[in-house]
């Protein structure tokens, strides 16, 4: 498969966004999924500046462009509560930042912390928020990729139903292979979801699949490990599904479980991850 691959930028969460870019380039990578931690760093710089999110995002893109680096994918604010009254207000600066950085897929969790909401109220609130966010993005090249996460939407059907109800514009799906592995093991709730393999999820998501969080675990916790370690995600099944749907977006590893090492050792891991990605993506 001739598609770009990357490691989530939170792998270098202890570095500034610029230093993170430099370290990935040093390790031979040309792109990354921009993490919400690095997004928060940029938005902190933008605070109090009129149009600050767009200005800081443009500066970040220029820094990356000058070095031949890019951000095809980004993670929107991890802790946002989509059922909160201010959810849209919180996320709009993130959309301004990401569109300025030319991020094409902004990953979002469909979270809801309102315990007093019924399932119907929760769904209605999600639709309202996603309709507003997708409308805000209309005319841009960025889409919001809803992740199989957040405590509710683990099946492709639940995500597709939500996307359709919100109008379908600038909306897609992000598959997290680790989350799917946990929902299959029973460690995460299925909410009526029938057992679904990695390739089945991919086939059922179809052309709406626009982002990936490739990660491994052993079925007991969301360990965010690189493939082919102690986990039991069937990556041959993942790749079969991606080939069947002709997936053409970023092949991104979300592996913060691998970052608790000195910088030099993280670089050694990145060299090995090159080989993992080349192996998985070979025709």
Residues 63-119 have pLDDT tens digits of 999 999 999 999 999 999 999 999 999 999 999 999 999 999 999 999 999 999 999
Calpha distance 41→94 (Å, rounded): 11
Q: What is the DSSP letter of 140?
A: S
- Give per-residue burial for 192-221: e unless 16+ CB within 10 Å, then b: ebeebebbbbbbbbeebbbbbbbbbbeeee
Q: Are strands 5-7 and 171-176 parallel, antiparallel or unpaired?
A: unpaired
187-245 pLDDT per residue, tens? 555 444 456 899 999 999 999 999 999 999 999 999 999 999 899 999 999 999 999 99
35-52 pLDDT per residue, tens? 999 999 999 999 999 999
150-182 pLDDT per residue, tens? 667 788 999 999 999 999 899 999 999 999 999
Give residue 192's pLDDT: 41
Q: Reply yes or no on whether the pLDDT at 186 is more than 90.
A: no
Q: Give the relative orientation of helices 156-165 and 119-137 as an angle to the nearest 10 degrees.
A: 60
Give residue 189's pLDDT: 52
Average pLDDT over every residue of 245-251: 98
Give residue 193's pLDDT: 47
From 181, 259, 168, 188, select the one nearest 213 (Cα to Cα): 181
């Amino acid at each position: 498969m001739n598609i770009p691959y990357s490691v989530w930028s939170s792998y270098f969460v202890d570095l500034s966004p610029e230093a993170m870019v430099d370290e990935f380039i040093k390790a031979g990578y040309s792109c990354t999924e921009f993490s919400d931690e690095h997004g928060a760093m940029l938005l902190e710089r933008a605070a109090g500046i009129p149009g600050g999110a767009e200005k800081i995002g443009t500066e970040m893109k220029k820094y990356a462009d000058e070095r031949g680096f890019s951000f095809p994918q980004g993670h929107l604010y991890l802790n946002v509560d989509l059922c909160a009254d201010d959810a849209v207000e919180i996320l709009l600066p993130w959309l301004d930042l990401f569109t300025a950085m030319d991020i094409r897929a902004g990953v979002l969790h469909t979270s809801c912390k309102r315990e007093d909401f019924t399932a119907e109220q929760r769904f209605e609130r999600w639709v309202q928020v996603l309709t507003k966010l997708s409308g805000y993005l209309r005319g841009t090249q960025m889409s919001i990729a809803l992740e199989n996460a957040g405590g509710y939407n683990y099946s492709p059907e639940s995500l597709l139903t939500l996307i359709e109800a919100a109008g379908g514009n600038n909306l897609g799906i992000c598959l997290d292979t680790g989350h799917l592995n946990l929902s299959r093991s029973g460690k995460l709730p299925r909410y009526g979801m029938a057992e679904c393999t990695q390739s089945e999820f991919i086939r059922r998501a179809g052309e709406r699949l626009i982002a990936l969080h490739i990660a491994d675990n052993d079925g007991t916790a969301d360990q965010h490990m690189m493939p082919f370690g102690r986990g039991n995600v069937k990556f041959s099944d993942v790749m079969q599904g991606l080939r069947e749907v002709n997936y053409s977006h970023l092949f991104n590893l979300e592996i913060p479980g691998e970052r608790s090492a000195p910088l030099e050792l993280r670089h050694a891991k990145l060299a090995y991850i090159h080989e993992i990605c080349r192996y998985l993506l070979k025709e």
